[in-house]
Structure 1
């Protein structure tokens, strides 16, 4: 392990990597701080522009966007009582009241400190735990990979909204898209309809841009995403900053909340939103006399921010070690890793060790960069939240079209992106979730290829999946995960409903 780390360090400590980490954090904070945008959208839009970069700088920038956007969501939560991201919904409960008291800078400083603390805990968990989990790779064969892919597809249950059936329909549509083109095993063309451009299949990035970016832009143009307008920020006292004593008093809360976030983030299908709710409730439960949660309590900012950032890097643990994208951002990053030649899963650390360790160590450094940018550029980020939404929408559409065209210098991919954008928009109208489409595209071919190979090994007998211990374990885990995810979903909905009832409509936004 030490040798791999020493090989990784020269790949990490370059000027190029430093520039792209800073750029990623900057872009992430901007997208996170504007309601209606998010880090996943930023990652999707910028993936095409990373193709000419090496694997390390490209993936460092994309993961940095993820980290920066999580902190960025707290800015509007504190300023205008509207969370920029779902994970920042609990932050506004004490952040906005503190801002209304004229202590906006203190609230933002607390959010930045807690976000950095939680992010560091999460990144260190990823660095130390992911390689240990990956050591089971030597026991994996085709049957295990099939069971693992099915286990990953079970995450659809957590991203299906109110109906698992609708999630399964979306996931099946994604698997269907993945079958387009020439079958790698038999050489037979499938669903090409005589088009030579379809022989190589439908590019996943074109689908990603359509499903995540174009569909959202159509919603914004049609006004289905309401933006809060006309909200003025109360001028804060420039001398009102977070003191060292106040920071020290929140350290136990940040430590506990970061641990909660890292644990929840490592479980596929959860993420920062549920972690922030749980951490806030835990901090409120342990409140000391005189601590008034809901009225501008610093611990009410520290708890959700350290928890939702504690979940960020931890969500990459199941992705990198098992190839299971636990949420929408992880599914997008799965596509990014694949496009840069890194096959995530049990063998990632053995086949691409130096590159992976460079990225993992870079995740730790990204948290420090986020703190420095937040400390010195926060006034700029606050002003960015006032950019006209119409201008942003038009600019993002142009960027998406450019990115789709750059895949193969072909307008065909632009048309594919626009078609899937329209499909995803109408799917949202009937409450068919878009995220399972990406899971189906990514995991469907893995499941298909390894199912074929497994049946060849067993002469067509399906009992091979029940005779091998790891396969059987994944099958059992699949059913357990579906049950837990639905239970967790009910709990989260209950918590969200309670927060909404207590704190008003901005929490829902």
Structure 2
């Protein structure tokens, strides 16, 4: 079978077009790569799996990279993963070197994306081959470990754990599917809603609501940023750019890319953690740490290589274990669901064409991101001037249309969009964590099946602790992630009190 049979002009155009749209989303403060993927997700149904993934992966890569534009020019992170880019990018822009800072960030983004892609290609198949040998016990513990990692890295450990289990609880609304060993009985269904909730809440409207509508509601409450004019864009005069600025920064780029990839592999951690860890390591190992925060190019390199390293890393657990690495890859599960494909340990072996298509799409997206942004950066800089009062109504309309049509015109899916849009907006007020919630919602039904099947097979809860050495290692990792989080939170509290 020709590994390039999926490669067509449409495939390439969708990847490049997705990258372009993703850059625009990332460049507008308040909009993210996750939002771009959520809004465009319904479109993929008519495109087929490979072409649909090409579009979404382009949006993902472009959205992560586009965040550097407002971070450098306005000092406002376009995406959460661009937080540390502002620390040195904005000072450079104020010094009249905005275009230079942008080009540094673009090149670092390309390096991070390509290194993470190599790691994805090498490690995802190997991890999938290893995971095939997992029994129901190990599969359940893997999900429990994913939730513990996300909870441990949340701003509040207990609220992170609660958010994850709340997601599992809501995912169990509906009938216990007989095809999964259930008895077909209703559970957790409020009286009067049996007709709509017999099969539970549909995944895709939930995702669009949490990541699309919730962001619009949050902007509506806080008020959009004042309109930007071209005078606000601190891009300075066109200046000669030389790659010599990267001399001596090879280790920084590779280290930051690998850190970002590793953070991406950890479920639900997110791009902000990747960029912060990369930036802090670059500062620690720098010969001139005092320059960081004052317009140091090495800081921009570390931040952008780190957050783009996330793109390939987050796909590793998704494709090998069926566990999303971050909120954007959680949305990719929606694309697989639309096409009737299940991700997990058997995905790569059973879908070699789709696997090859994803690798090629990621490569094209990273190269397209570099070409589009490097040679047209002045035009992308103008994206930050687009008025929010024009942009958000269009996005809201796309969310509603997408939710309505995604399951062939079910009005309850629009209500689901509204319910979870409001719920997602309220979560930030209640300090609940969206990432653990959505991963819990996605993995809840699988966790239930693995737990019940284990009890049916062995009849004793102790089997979860004694089944195999792998299970013991997973328990140690779960306890270690929670214990480490408690220690870090206590250390931070003591530091604040001091």
What SS does the corresponding residue of 2:353 show, helix, strand or coil? helix
**Counterpart residue number, 1:187:** 184
State the Cα distance separating 1:399 from its structure 2 match: 0.7
TM-score (norm 1): 0.88
Q: Deviations over 1:244-294 (max 9, x none)?
A: 322445434322322222233323343432332233233334434699333
**Counterpart residue number, 1:311:** 310
CA distance in 2, matches of 1:151, 1:486: 16
Q: Note if 1:50 corresponds to 2:44.
A: yes
The answer (yes or no) to whether the contact 1:342–1:352 under 8 Å persists in 2 is no
Q: Deviations over 1:481-504 (max 9, x none)?
A: 333455677899999x9xxxxxxx
**TM-aligned CA distance change 1:341 to 1:480, over 3 Å:** farther
Q: Deviations over 1:326-357 (max 9, x none)?
A: 33223223333333333222222222232123
**Counterpart residue number, 1:341:** 340
**Counterpart residue number, 1:174:** 167
Q: Note if 1:364 corresponds to 2:357.
A: no
**Counterpart residue number, 1:418:** 418
Query: How is 1:388-399 mapped onto 2 (pairs within 5 angstroms)?
Result: 388-399=387-398
Q: Note if 1:8 corresponds to 2:8.
A: no
**Counterpart residue number, 1:505:** none
Q: Note if 1:207 corresponds to 2:206.
A: yes
**Counterpart residue number, 2:295:** 296
**Counterpart residue number, 2:325:** 326
State the Cα distance separating 1:213 from its structure 2 match: 1.6
**Counterpart residue number, 1:154:** 148
**Counterpart residue number, 1:243:** 242
The answer (yes or no) to whether the contact 2:25–2:32 under 8 Å persists in 1 is yes
State the Cα distance separating 1:192 from its structure 2 match: 6.0
CA distance in 2, matches of 1:253, 1:341: 42
CA distance in 2, matches of 1:290, 1:477: 34
State the Cα distance separating 1:479 from its structure 2 match: 2.0
What SS does the corresponding residue of 1:84 show, helix, strand or coil? coil
CA distance in 1, matches of 2:434, 2:281: 33
The answer (yes or no) to whether the contact 1:78–1:92 under 8 Å persists in 2 is yes
CA distance in 2, matches of 1:64, 1:491: 40
The answer (yes or no) to whether the contact 1:250–1:298 under 8 Å persists in 2 is no
CA distance in 2, matches of 1:489, 1:352: 43
CA distance in 2, matches of 1:419, 1:290: 48
The answer (yes or no) to whether the contact 1:159–1:436 under 8 Å persists in 2 is no
Stretch moving more, 179-188 or 286-295: 286-295
What SS does the corresponding residue of 1:222 show, helix, strand or coil? helix
Give the unaligned 5+ runs of structure 1: 1-5, 498-509
TM-score (norm 2): 0.90
Q: Deviations over 1:299-331 (max 9, x none)?
A: 222121112112221122122212222332232
The answer (yes or no) to whether the contact 2:257–2:308 under 8 Å persists in 1 is yes
Q: Note if 1:35 corresponds to 2:32.
A: no
What SS does the corresponding residue of 1:153 show, helix, strand or coil? helix
What SS does the corresponding residue of 2:291 show, helix, strand or coil? coil
Q: Deviations over 1:177-210 (max 9, x none)?
A: 2222221111112316343232232101111122
Give the unaligned 5+ runs of structure 2: none
**Counterpart residue number, 1:504:** none
**TM-aligned CA distance change 1:227 to 1:476, over 3 Å:** farther
Q: Note if 1:427 corresponds to 2:427.
A: yes
State the Cα distance separating 1:14 from its structure 2 match: 1.4
The answer (yes or no) to whether the contact 1:143–1:465 under 8 Å persists in 2 is yes
**TM-aligned CA distance change 1:300 to 1:424, over 3 Å:** closer
Q: Pick from 48, 63, 86 the counterpart of residue 92 of structure 1.
A: 86
CA distance in 1, matches of 2:173, 2:290: 59
CA distance in 2, matches of 1:39, 1:218: 17
**TM-aligned CA distance change 1:161 to 1:281, over 3 Å:** closer
**Counterpart residue number, 2:11:** 17
CA distance in 1, matches of 2:43, 2:49: 12
**Counterpart residue number, 2:266:** 267
State the Cα distance separating 1:227 from its structure 2 match: 5.8
Stretch moving more, 396-405 or 198-207: 198-207
**TM-aligned CA distance change 1:405 to 1:10, over 3 Å:** same
Q: Note if 1:233 corresponds to 2:233.
A: yes
The answer (yes or no) to whether the contact 1:277–1:304 under 8 Å persists in 2 is yes
When the two chains are superposed, the root-mean-square deviation of aligned CA atoms in Å is 2.6
**Counterpart residue number, 2:135:** 141
Q: Pick from 108, 112, 116 the counterpart of residue 122 of structure 1.
A: 116
What SS does the corresponding residue of 1:171 show, helix, strand or coil? helix
Q: Deviations over 1:57-93 (max 9, x none)?
A: 2122212222111211111111011111122111122
CA distance in 2, matches of 1:170, 1:18: 39
Q: Pick from 59, 62, 65 the counterpart of residue 56 of structure 2.
A: 62
What SS does the corresponding residue of 2:256 show, helix, strand or coil? helix
The answer (yes or no) to whether the contact 1:152–1:323 under 8 Å persists in 2 is no
Across the two proteins, how many residue pairs are aligned to each other? 487
The answer (yes or no) to whether the contact 2:316–2:325 under 8 Å persists in 1 is no
